[in-house]
Amino acid sequence: MRSIKDLGTRPAPVSLRDLVAKVVRGQGPAIAVERRQIPYWQERGWRRNGNVYEGSYQTPYAAFQGWIEQEHSGRINFYLYNPSQQIRGHSHWTCFQHRGNDWYLIHMAREPKDVGSGILAIERLITEGYES
Amino acid sequence: MKKLSVVVAGTGQIRDIQIQSGTTAGDVLHQLNLPDYLLSKGPNDPFFAAAESIYDKVEGGEKIFASTKAEVGIRVCAA
């Protein structure tokens, strides 16, 4: 029989100890991740400065720079920069009023009660322009 | 039964609901007390009609949007 030499003990590597600890204690309790309850405009990355919002109308086809002004009366004005040919070909193109420097004011037949709803409506219109 | 999260676009408030087969968009809006709103899956999808059953058109756990009625329109332009 061959003799062996006892070299003593040494701690296992940290990674191995962590792995063993995980197996022993199981998966552990689930962490509840809280949902962010933020307005649509904020979810879409728009920034607010007083009664003015700046951001972009985003669709899978294209994004367009925009700004929005909320008047004290509650009326909300939506502006879009440099609309594409697809938007210009939409049946509602006549509702885009040129305000200079390629900025267009978008008229609403039915005005939204909040900024987010207006952004949604305009993004939907842009998508329609690209899909029609 | 399907569970849905309805996000109110203006506030970001999330309302968790459970719907049965045949539940319409109008049923949801009525029960959430959002009479002037429309439901949609997002900006890339059309609004659900009030009488439209949404059960087969949404996935369980999906987030859908409630936004106030807004329309880029001819009438104002023509006025």
Nearest to A113 by CA among B74, B13, B36, B17: B36
What is d(CA A84, CA A51) in angstroms, rounded to the nearest whole number? Answer: 27
Strand residue runs (E) in B1-79? 2-8, 14-19, 37-40, 63-68, 71-72
Tell me the percentage of chain A whose pLDDT exceeds 70.
92
State the pTM of this model.
0.78
pLDDT digits (tens, 9 = 90+) for A45-83: 999 999 999 999 999 999 999 999 999 998 999 999 999
Provide the residue ranges of all domains of chain A, joining segments of one domain with +.
40-131
Which CATH number applies to A40-131?
3.90.1150
Contact status, residue A89 vs residue A81, Cβ threshold 8 Å:
no
**Complex confidence, ipTM:** 0.79
Contact A109 B72 (CB under 8 A): yes
Written as one string, the DSSP assignment of A34-52 is PPP---HHHHTT-EEETTE
Contact B74 A92 (CB under 8 A): yes
Mutation target among A117, A126, A132 for the B interface, most CBs of B within 10 A: A117
Instruction: Say whether pLDDT at B9 is over 70.
Output: yes
Domains of chain B, first to last: 2-78 (3.10.20.90)
Strand pairing partners for B40? B47, B65
What is d(CA B33, CA A68) in angstroms, rounded to the nearest whole number? Answer: 28
